[in-house]
Structure 1
Amino acid sequence: MENKITRHWSAGVFLLLMLACCVNLSAQRIRVQGQITDRNGKGVPNANVFSSEKKERIDMSDEDGRYSVLADKNASLKFTCIGYEDYTVKIGNKQIIDVVLKEAVFALDEVTVISKVKNKVVPEPTDIEIKGNYFHLKTRVPVPKEMFNSHRRLILQPSIYDVTEKKRLLMQPVVFDGEDYHVSQKRMYDYEPDRDPLNAYVRVKETSTRQGDVIAYHDSLYIENLKHDYRADVHIAMENYRNIVYRDSFSIARGTVNPLRFLEYKFSAFSLTDERYIPKPIMQLRDTKGEVNLTFLVGKASLDDRNPRNQIELNRLNSELRAIENNPDASLRSFHIVGIASPDGGYENNQKLAGLRTDKALERILSQLDASTRKALELKSAAQVAPWKDVVGLLRKDGLVKEAAEIEGLIKQYGERTYRLNKAVKSTSYYDKILSVYLPKLRKVQYTYGYSIFRSLTDEEIKALYRQKPHDLTRFEYYRLLVTAETQAEKEKYGKEAIEAYEGFTYAANELAVLNIARDTPDASILAPFVGRSAPVELLSNQAIALLHEGKYMKADSVLTLAPAGTVPADLEAIVLAMSGSHEEAFERVASTSPLNEVVMLLAMKKNEEAWEKAVKLNAGSAKEYYVRAIAANRLDKIGEAILNIEAALSLDPSLLEIARIDGDIIDLLPEEQKIKNTLEK
């Protein structure tokens, strides 16, 4: 019994110790996650995460560079990725570990490594061929038999490197799996291959040869700026289940093959001729005033018919009102009348008399107008009594300064509108003259009529309005400013303001584009918002010219497809087709424009023999002609001819050296010191 207890106790202790060990081991493993980025903060996908504990890959980062692993907290994590330097970090107690990988610096030779080198995966040298805005990269990658086995994965990552902007553009990768490695990958991802970020690119090696394998590669990449310096690189990595066993990098092409850079063309801009896009004048209501003065008999509400001036005024008033009524662009809006009585006598009686004169005059005048016109009028009337100070003004105007001063003194003494002032004035020695000459001038009715008339502003009025209230200008008035602009600077200013003030102002935008094309500074952003199937062909043509200037050949081609067939100028259409890659379709038209263009097109189509035959017949009076002749000669391995022609070209135009340094057809012809200088500069 005792022995049994002892055995049971021993077994229990052993079990407890085992559990303690398991708990201890479990406690050592923690979840670690984070993000792998480059120095610009962009996530690095497909990066390997290795554990120093197992010395094998335990995870691969997703598209955003994120990873998540279970690992021993006393272990280290190693991060690797093609094109970046390896990075190792101790876990400690950190559960969040973000990693920044540095781009690996590879010595990329200008000349490809000779293919006889053993134990290397060496891509064949090639050219970057340009077709439209697409860079085409074709190469073959021999894989020596001794380098690759069934338990390995080979990853090829071609890229185009923009030397000018120091920017790398990745192309489609190639993933070459051995059969056993591929099976292991399936198991690792629980037979869900899509969990492998590289699955879409995997090719499985299923053949066996003594010589090894050859991987053929062809991919294209859209490039916006064709004037930069480019090269093609291939980063290569080979891994087994645990480590990256081989890594290398090669430059397989320097410069671009693009003879169309020498295609000569020049297009004038196109102004709009379709009246649909020329703004129609918008007539504006312009307020105008007229005024009539009529005199009345003393103490009466009747007009003074003895005064010939009254009839003249009435005739003029009737004529003006009738003209307004009969003008379809004019409308009588208001009629204001004020009846005025002279100040002699009692103020209340004079005020009443002024009112009677107003009513009588209004009745007589309005009777001449159409009933509908009278109904629409804004009528205002008022009655006033002229003050004695108006008499002072009339006296002073006639040079009667003494009399004016006396009346002015009486006004100050007795005040306006008083019986005593009237009595004092009547007692003056010159009252009879005031009564017969000056008081009649104050007995009158004044008419003010307001009318609005629709009319277009004159060019001078438009300019005046622009100076005062530019935001009040209509489209038509901006159109007139553009048409009458005296300088190109003025026209540009008006054009920019017009398209800011009026969205969709097609005419103004096109004129601004025409201006830029004329001074050889086309700007495709001006017309971009107006491009569409309904856009006028002139506008589409101008946009294509601007896109050609900016090197956006594919976009220029897509713009011209919006125009109805046969409406685009034939030369423009042919050049756009050629530059966007439709060489055969454009050849006949473009070749007919000049002998040089014919040679350039033949070179673009790789008809090198025919290009050489045509090139030798060129007058070769220009640097460009020597240059394209050098291309044709070099392609046919006529090295002596090629060197002579490129030297002649550079002698005539030294600036062509900048092109030669990035031209895949010429770069190998440059003197060694120029190559060295080029390398140092880049």
Structure 2
Amino acid sequence: MRQHFCYIIVAAACLCASCNTQRKVAETAITVTPAYCQLTSGTDNRAEMELNFHIPEKTLSKRSRLVITPQLMVGDSVYDEYDPVVVEAGIYADKLRRKEVLEGYHDPYKEQKRQVDDATAAFTLSYHESVVLPASADTARIVAVVSTDGCGQCTGIDTLEMASIVRALAYVEWIEPVFTIRPKIVEGKGEARLQFAINLYDIDLDMGNNRAELDSMLQALTPVLTDTLATVNSFTVYGMASADGSLKFNTALARNRANAAMQYVAHRLGLTDRQMERIRIDSRPEGWQPVLRAMKLDSHPDTARVADILQRLADKDDDAQERLIRRLACWQDIREKYLAKDRKVEYTYSYTIRSFTTDREVLDMYAKRPDAFNEEELLRAATLMKTDAEKIEVYRTLLARFPRCETAINNLAYLYLRAGMEAEARTLLQKLPERYPDLESKQLKIREEAAR
């Protein structure tokens, strides 16, 4: 029983001694503020470290020197070491000066020494250092080895965790497109301004700008009417009837002029009767609004009178409006200056391009007719390509036609990064600020596990 009692006394004594030691260590430990901060490196891998070392009272004896040596740790290895912080007590400084005089000793910390009024009292040391994160690492730690033995190279008495440093990264992840088949409907319209002999509808290519106008119309309609992948849904050509003269006569004349223009195009394209059956010829009155707009642009003094007539007779036809306009003193001006000398032929169309539904068809048709692909089909073509170079070519083609396609922008940037083209990738990703905010301060990195 007595033996057990002795063991208890010894254990209690050890426990008390341990608690006392821990309390003293806590009271005399050097601390850092801000406490273990996290630094973020910019695009140059650099971060600025600003902190304070707080040295408790009696950390230094009158015969010692404090050396704090910050180190950059990558994993468990020391990657770099920075300028130390050095403070000497009075007696140590005196002894060192005598050694320098008598023995020619050179103090390696001469440039780093700092002066404090009383080295044995509590004091604070500020510290600033520019830290460079290794290119091979995304994270690192900064620790400080603390020594009071004077040389700073013998066994350290403590190690302080000062800060961590992380690379500011923007991870670019591959977006896998979902292939959906969507009808490719194209709609369009245009016009040709042609001149005709009075009350006639035969086309004279040498009159006015007729040849250029019809060639432009031909160029616009060629892909609509001759593309083997296109199915015409609707096609209408309108002749615009002049406002002056009989509405009935002008409407019929305008229709014949529209038909003449279409016959010219049909002949040049070699359209069949079956193809012509899909084309509808029609006419409609142009009205007096173009005349009114021309008078307004010219600031004609009778503009308000014409506008008043058109407003009062808005529910009447062109003939009724013309009868009142002809009574105005400005009628001669209108005939000579504001009635168009050319007649307008308008055309509207809608057609559907054949969709490509199988992977084999997508690859085959992309080699032949990439212009016939919509956005979804081009994304599918990029997915089916085997090499990065082939994918890049498809995505470039896609963005030339659909410059706002987010998937194409993202994936092309991903491929650029994988090819080491960071500047080109960054330029692309700047178009996606919601997906990649604050891009200018971050380095780009791809998630390899998502690589395609």
Range class of TM-score, shorter chain: 0.3 to 0.5
> How does the TM-score come out when normalised to structure 1?
0.26
> How does the TM-score come out when normalised to structure 2?
0.37
Task: Return the structure number with greater strand share.
Answer: 2
Q: Per chain length, whose mean CA-contact separation is higher, i.e. which structure has more relative contact order (CA < 8 Å, sep 6+)? A: 2
Bigger Rg over Cα: 1
